[in-house]
Amino acid sequence: MRFLTAVTALPILFSSYFVQASNQHITELVNAAKSRTLVQITYDGSYRRISYPMGDVPAHIGVCTDVIIRSYRQLGIDLQQQVHEDISAHFDSYPSNRIWGMKKPDSNIDHRRVPNLQTFFTRHGEQQAISNQPEDYLPGDIVTWMLPGNLPHIGIVVDIKDPETQTPLVVHNIGQGPEMDNSLFRFPITGHYRYMPDINI
């Protein structure tokens, strides 16, 4: 479902992470993620050549990683460039060769792969503990899962929670376009991250 008919606003609580990342930026990221659910997207993960930096696949297509990329981009944060620069300098730290047999970075696709984003957020964000406690997941948190068939997946926690379970909702694209739903604990969680670089306004 794209929006639940009955939801409860989730207050944004701040840890040490949010001392560095302002309330405004986290709110903007969450709002950007929620706005993705208003866009009609056809799930299409085919390889495409795109511009660099700030490159993107056609606006009407996308996969789970594009929800994250496009949400951050609304804040002026270009994960394509940031991932490409990091993987170019630290190629062996990324799983590109092990998983896909790549010999060098590729700015067309590297940032659109969940394992690469996991590596980037681990290296440059704050890696959080994985738990089954809803209160451990804050608005703006990035979560990765392993879907059936060993398919990696990624989404973002927002500031709304399910009124029955009190679980924060997530925005993700699991095949039917970006949607906001109660999927945080639906699949095994493989990663939990917080990432907000300095933004000059």
The conformation of residue 119, written as its DSSP 8-state character, comes to: H
- Measure the CA–CA gap between 34 and 67, rounded to whole angstroms: 10
State the pLDDT at residue 21.
Answer: 57
Structure tokens at 52: 């660099």
**Which CATH code of 3.90.1720.10, 3.30.450.20, 3.40.630.10, 3.40.605.10 fits the domain covering 8-194?**
3.90.1720.10
Domain boundaries defined on the chain: 8-194
**Tens-digit pLDDT profile for residues 142-191:** 999 999 999 999 999 999 999 999 999 999 999 999 999 999 999 999 99
Q: Report the DSSP beta bridge partners of residue 160.
A: 9
- Helix/strand/coil for 193: strand
Q: Which residues of 112-127 are buried (b: 16+ CB within 10 A; e: fewer)?
A: bbbbbbbbbbeeebbe
State the pLDDT at residue 23.
Answer: 86
Please identify every stretch of the chain with a pLDDT value under 70, giving residue numbers as ranges.
1-21, 200-201
State the pLDDT at residue 177.
Answer: 98
Structure tokens at 53: 């930096």
State the pLDDT at residue 6.
Answer: 40
- Measure the CA–CA gap between 3 and 55, rounded to whole angstroms: 29
- Measure the CA–CA gap between 110 and 108, rounded to whole angstroms: 6
